[in-house]
Amino acid sequence: MNNSKDNPIVDDIALDFQEPTVVEEKDNIDIETELEAIEDIEAIGTNDELVFKDISLKEKVANFKIVKSLKGKIWPIMLPFILTMAILVVLPLIGIILFAIIEPSGNSTKFRLDLSNFSRFFTSGSIMSVLGLSMLYAVISSILTIAMAYPIALMMANLRNKIMAKNIWVILTMPIWISMILKILGLRSLFYLLGGTALGTPFAVILGMVYMFLPFALAPIYNGLENQDPVFYQAALDLKASKAKAFWHVTFRQSLPGVFAAFTLVIVQASTALLIPRYMGDGKINLIPTIIENYFFKGTDFGFGATVAVALAILLFAIMGVTKLISNKFEIRGSRKWKGSSKQVTSQ
């Protein structure tokens, strides 16, 4: 019999069985080395994560967005404005809100939170109907005011003599400088000269609002028209678009940011005007500002008057927010132009 050591076939078979074992041992060593490296990396990361950096109050305050925006600015110049707004606007507003949500309890707990006035407000049919009527008057007068202000602003914007345009703008906005009580008494006197039968009607109240707030609508619409680039309108005419089509697709769309600003200005003032319904309504038409005045000065229910005032303010903020959302959706950011107003306009 032949010895296995002298047989090459047997040697090959033995090598075939020995080589995988060596390879496996080498692979195991490599895997263990990699695992150790991963553990070292994780250990380093874990140690870093366990170190929590204490943030001081000063750093937290400095990280606020408003504080960052004030850094490097000339905020000391704004300090008088900030103090004025805080004293004349913010503090009275806080007082109104406190009157609306607290009630004197008469015991050691001097005041207590009470939201019953809000429940009373939303369940009062008469108050809700007056609020709805007030908003209807405000919306109608705002639309009419813009409808009257837009052609005037367009005429001023198209004047070649800009000095004349500025003078007309000053004359038209001059009523802003006159006391509101004088203006409303003058308008009331005019109604008396014409017969006085229209006083106390919705027509007189809406006319008074349009007359009173027309200058406030002129300024933003005129600025919107004046800042337009006339190249787009001329290009539309060169492409054989009609004047009406060029105006609607170019001029009017580019002026919409000013129109929305004018609408916001007018509706806020019209819904809170007190003198107009009193003198033009002739005591026959009561809107929500009259109701608030009655609760504050002619009655003793300060809390409910404050609740109505807060509800009206929230409603106006909501209207302003909706107007701003619409404007942001369709306005090209930072350009004061409406989306699509620069598109090519042809006769087609």
CA angle 326, 331, 334 (to 5 degrees): 130
d(CA 208, CA 212): 6
pTM for the whole thing?
0.69
What pLDDT does 3 receive? 47
- The model's pLDDT over 130-174, given as tens digits with 9 standing for 90+, comes to 999 999 999 999 999 999 999 999 998 888 887 888 888 888 888
- Domain regions of the chain by residue span: 57-101, 125-331
- The model's pLDDT over 178-191, given as tens digits with 9 standing for 90+, comes to 888 888 899 888 88
The residue-averaged pLDDT of 14-43 equals 64
Segment holding 140, helix H or strand E: helix 125-158
Instruction: Pick the most confident of 6-15, 33-42, 186-195, 258-267.
Output: 258-267
- The model's pLDDT over 174-227, given as tens digits with 9 standing for 90+, comes to 878 888 888 889 988 888 888 768 888 999 999 999 999 999 999 889 988 887
Q: Which two tokens stand for residue 73?
A: 């600015």
d(CA 34, CA 28): 10
DSSP string spanning 92-125? HHHHHHHHHHEEE-SSSS-EEE--HHHHHHHH-H
Are 144 and 203 within 8 A, CB to CB?
no
Domain 125-331 has CATH 2.60.120.10: no
Q: Is 112 helix (H, G, I), strand (E, B) or coil?
A: strand
Is the per-residue pLDDT at 115 higher than 90? no
What pLDDT does 12 receive? 54
- The model's pLDDT over 229-275, given as tens digits with 9 standing for 90+, comes to 778 888 888 888 888 888 888 888 888 888 988 999 999 999 988 88
